[in-house]
Amino acid sequence: MSKEKKNLSLKIVDKRKIWYAISVLIIVAGIVSFAIQGFNFGIDFTGGSYLQLTFTDGEPVAAEDAAEGEEAAEAPAAVNSVEVPLEDLRAVVNQYVEKTPTIQHDKTNNAYVIRTELTDEDEVNELLDALRAEIGPFEIDRNELVGPTIGNELVKKAILALVIACALMLIYITVRFQFWFGVTSIVTLLHDALIVLAVFSIFQLEMSSSFIAAILTVIGYSINATIIVFDRVRESMPNYKSSERLALMNDSISLTFARSLNTTITTLLTLVALVLFGGDTTKIFVFAMIVGITAGFYSSVCLSGSLYYDFVSHFGKKK
């Protein structure tokens, strides 16, 4: 019998087959979606166009403000820059592209940076003509066709770094706790990453460079939540007999549930605020974080103890 008193008793591990079924269902749905429609890669992966525009009122600045003396005659006529609503700008650009464009407003020089998947010069010129007709005159600061900034080599290196990190975490957790804690932690990390990939494939959300950063952040967040549970298991082990392993896992999860829930909710509130009030360039990163942190909470509470219990019961030493 446990010597610890607790206010909450959750029978999480008893229902582990339900949790396994939910995870398998989502991951299989993601695999099927990937096989049918793949991922919606952004221009960081596929390449596209890069435009930097400064919208103007069409009126030249006074010559004495632009330059003086002989320089005034040689300098091109300067114009007054104006701000335009991002919603109007996006509405025009969306007519010519399929994927959501990245539009940023550089308030330092009042310029607008537009990145789209357009790779044909004629299509880019057609977009520029539409912007000029519907938004107003502008100066073109940059007009470039760019290749993919994230190539196969970079993706391979990211995967290699992830494998090395998982191997080092497995070694550390094995030394600090025990081997099956390490195996379970790595499985839950892979689970969280697969859930994020499945959601992005099913709903065809755009994957950009910020997506990779979000995946790595989710992994760091999830391993912390899982270790909290295992630390409680290790501390409680002396109070339980070997035949009470199921009760040990359930009680340890119950004792850490409030901490995990509170941490997840406070983090999600911050991320939701970023979705509502943040810029367009951070939304992919934030949404991936929301999905990953939710999956991390689910895996740390519902899967970590369940997987550890099954691993030790089937493969561990009989004590």
Q: Is residue 23 one of the residues assigned to a domain? A: yes
Tens of pLDDT, residues 276-310: 887 666 888 899 999 999 999 999 999 999 999 99
Q: Is the pLDDT of residue 314 over 90?
A: no
User: Which run of H or of E encompasses 63?
Assistant: helix 63-66
Q: Identify whether the C-beta of residue 314 lies closer than 8 Å to the C-beta of residue 232.
A: no
| 154 and 141 in a common domain | no
| 73 and 35 in a common domain | no
| 302 and 157 in a common domain | yes
The three-class DSSP label of residue 103 is strand
Q: Is residue 238 one of the residues assigned to a domain? A: yes
| Domain count across the chain | 2
| 76 and 28 in a common domain | no
Residue among 195, 178, 199 nearest 312 (CA): 178
Nearest 5 degrees, angle CA 244-CA 248-CA 251?
135
| 25 and 164 in a common domain | yes
Please give the residue range of the domain that contains residue 94.
Answer: 48-146
pLDDT at 59: 58
CATH number of the domain to which 118 belongs: 3.30.70.3400
| 213 and 69 in a common domain | no
Residue among 299, 293, 309, 183 nearest 250 (CA): 309
> Cα–Cα distance between 319 and 304 in angstroms, integer?
21
Tens of pLDDT, residues 88-111: 898 999 898 887 788 888 887 888
| 66 and 53 in a common domain | yes
**pTM (two decimals):** 0.76
Q: Identify whether the C-beta of residue 93 lies closer than 8 Å to the C-beta of residue 101.
A: yes
CATH number of the domain to which 199 belongs: 1.20.1640.10
Token pair for 37: 């429609």
| 127 and 177 in a common domain | no
Mean pLDDT of 245-251: 92
